[in-house]
Structure 1
Amino acid sequence: RGASFLPVTDPKGGVVTRLIRSGVSLFNAHTNADVACEGVATALADLIGLRDTVPLEPCGVDAEGHEIGLGRVGTVEPTTLGAFADHVASVLPAGPTGLLVGGDEAMAVSRVAVLGGAGDSALDAARAADVDVYLTADLRHHPASEHLEGGAPALLCGSHWATESPWLPVLARRIREAATYADVEVRVEISTIVTEPWTSYRVTQGELA
Structure 2
Amino acid sequence: MTVQLADLIGTLDKAYPPELAESWDSVGLVAGDPADDVQKVLFAVDATAEVVDEALAWGAQALVVHHPLLLRGVDTVGAHTPKGALLHKLIRGGCALFSAHTNADRAKPGVNDALAEALGLTITGPIEPAPSRPLDKWVVMVPLKMGQEVQKAMFDAGAGAIGDYRECSWRVEGVGQFRPVDGANPHIGAVGRVETVREGRIELVADRSLRTAVTKAMLEAHPYEEPAFDIVELASVPGEIGIGRVGELPEPETLAAFVERVERALPKTVWGIRAAGDPNRLIKTVAVCGGSGDSFLSTVKRLGVDVYVTSDLRHHPADEHLRGGGPALVDVAHWASESPWCGQAADIVARELGVEVRVSTVRTDPWTVGTVSS
Greater strand content = 2
Is residue 6–residue 13 contact of structure 1 (8 Å, CA) maintained in 2? Answer: no
Does 2:360 match 1:191?
Answer: yes
Instruction: Report which structure shows greater RCO (CA 8 Å, sep ≥6).
Output: 2
Aligned residue number for residue 262 of structure 2: 88
Whichever residue aligns with residue 109 of structure 2, its letter is E
How far the C-alpha of 1:22 sits from its partner, in A, is: 4.1
Is residue 123–residue 245 contact of structure 2 (8 Å, CA) maintained in 1? Answer: no
Measured in 2, the distance between the counterparts of 1:90 and 1:23 equals 37
Aligned residue number for residue 300 of structure 2: 126
1:177 is aligned, of 351, 355, 359, to 351
Is residue 255–residue 282 contact of structure 2 (8 Å, CA) maintained in 1? Answer: yes
Tell me, which stretches of 5 or more residues in structure 2 are unaligned? 1-24, 26-70, 134-161, 165-238
How far the C-alpha of 1:50 sits from its partner, in A, is: 0.9
Whichever residue aligns with residue 67 of structure 1, its letter is E
Measured in 2, the distance between the counterparts of 1:11 and 1:61 equals 40
Does 2:240 match 1:67?
Answer: yes
Tell me, which stretches of 5 or more residues in structure 1 are unaligned? 181-185
Note the 1:82-121 alignment, pairs <5 A: 82-121=256-295
Highest CA radius of gyration, 1 or 2?
A: 2
- Aligned to 1:128, the other structure's residue is in SS state helix
Note the 1:1-209 alignment, pairs <5 A: 2-5=71-74, 7=76, 8=78, 9-61=80-132, 64=163, 67-76=240-249, 77-180=251-354, 186-204=355-373
Please provide the CA RMSD for this pair: 2.0
Whichever residue aligns with residue 3 of structure 1, its letter is R
TM-score if structure 2 supplies the norm length?
0.50
- Aligned to 1:203, the other structure's residue is in SS state coil
Is residue 290–residue 338 contact of structure 2 (8 Å, CA) maintained in 1? Answer: yes
Whichever residue aligns with residue 142 of structure 1, its letter is H
Give 4+ residue runs of structure 1 displaced > 4 Å after superposition: 61-66
Identity in percent: 46
Measured in 2, the distance between the counterparts of 1:133 and 1:197 equals 26
TM-score if structure 1 supplies the norm length?
0.88
